[in-house]
Chain A
């Protein structure tokens, strides 16, 4: 009984230790993609930026900033449905991030305008 508990504790410890560097690696890889994407967007290379931020969320699906940036790139491309999904994911990961909220509010204003279908 004691042995089983000890084994379980070791397994948990092992997993925790293994997950730590793995998480750190995926975050730093994802961060590198995000940084590169930002540089691309600043040079008006939005296609490249979009690709980088897509990669970033694939590498680390818990990275709110990557989803935020991806949403902006989708918005810039006129892909409103994709942008909404990405913003919502970013807010789900960081519900109190004021900057993501601000971006999302501005996006919603434009999205509402695009979806207005007249009086008919």
Chain B
């Protein structure tokens, strides 16, 4: 072969060139272009061992942000319904706790400073996290559909941002309170936390595609960047899992989801809330049970 190449005539060279081209084409056809898209389901193991629990109690959340959605009530309802169908735990159906009011009461009793509606949020307003023996009964008072007792609803501080939310957080470290609540419901896994659902508006350049038709009637898609004013919502839930037998916090995880819509599009706050929660729910459930994430990958030859 080497000898032949060394003495190659014009026609031999053409054959070699043709051969190389064919080889390249074969390589492209067989080696590089052969791929198969395949659906896969990736299992992600549960982050918590919930085998010691038979029941789960979603008690309520300290919620704030938009007035258009009662994030406490909606979150409790949604999580309970998801847990009923997608977990092996029995879901306790009980009144939704007005946790913000209870936390505020606790702060008052412990002498810790609390947020007031008019007071601006300051660093010093955030109390230290310390266990406080509750003066408030864990049994919920009669609450309205929004999870507020009529008397307390008027006086409860509005939670507008993360800073004001922080002043309520000592309740989650109150071991005695949660233990007592756990005893009342046969020591379940307690789910609680904070939910902040705030409106958001942004303006800036956005990538879009524009469809046009050329002279021959063919569709042409052109990527463009346009200045746009958009509004929407940010959802920041923090789920806290408490052992109902001991009252101690066993796991917590925070999430942040954001949706922006063109300003002329009128999206109701509740629709946006559910849209955002759709993204959070699988990750919430993944704390308690193994979840399968569907996706596609490319197999190569």
Interface, chain A (partner B; CB < 8 A): 31, 34-35, 38, 41-42, 64-65, 68-69, 72, 75-78, 97, 99-100, 102-103, 106-107, 110, 113-114, 116-120
Contacts and interface: CB of A to CB of B under 8 A. Distances in A.
A78 B300 contact: no
A78 B253 contact: no
A114 B46 CA distance: 9
Is chain B's binding surface mostly helix, strand, loop or mixed? strand
A118 B42 contact: no
Q: Give chain B's interface residue range (CB within 8 Å of chain A).
A: 20 to 34
Interface of B: 31, 35-36, 38, 40-45, 47, 238, 249, 251-254, 283, 286-287, 293, 295, 297-301
Contacts of B43: 77-78
B10 to A, nearest CB: 28
Contacts, number: 70
Given A100-B300, A120-B249, 13 more contacts: A35-B301, A38-B299, A41-B299, A64-B300, A65-B31, A65-B300, A69-B300, A76-B40, A77-B43, A78-B43, A78-B44, A110-B295, A119-B238
Contacts of B47: 117-118
Contacts of A77: 43
B44 A103 contact: no
B301 A34 contact: yes
Nearest to A13: B2
B44 A114 contact: yes
A38 B36 contact: yes
B295 to A, nearest CB: 6
A64 B293 CA distance: 25
Given A116-B253, A119-B254, A120-B252, A103 B42 contact: no
A119 B252 contact: yes
A110 B44 contact: yes
B252 A110 contact: no
Contacts of B254: 119
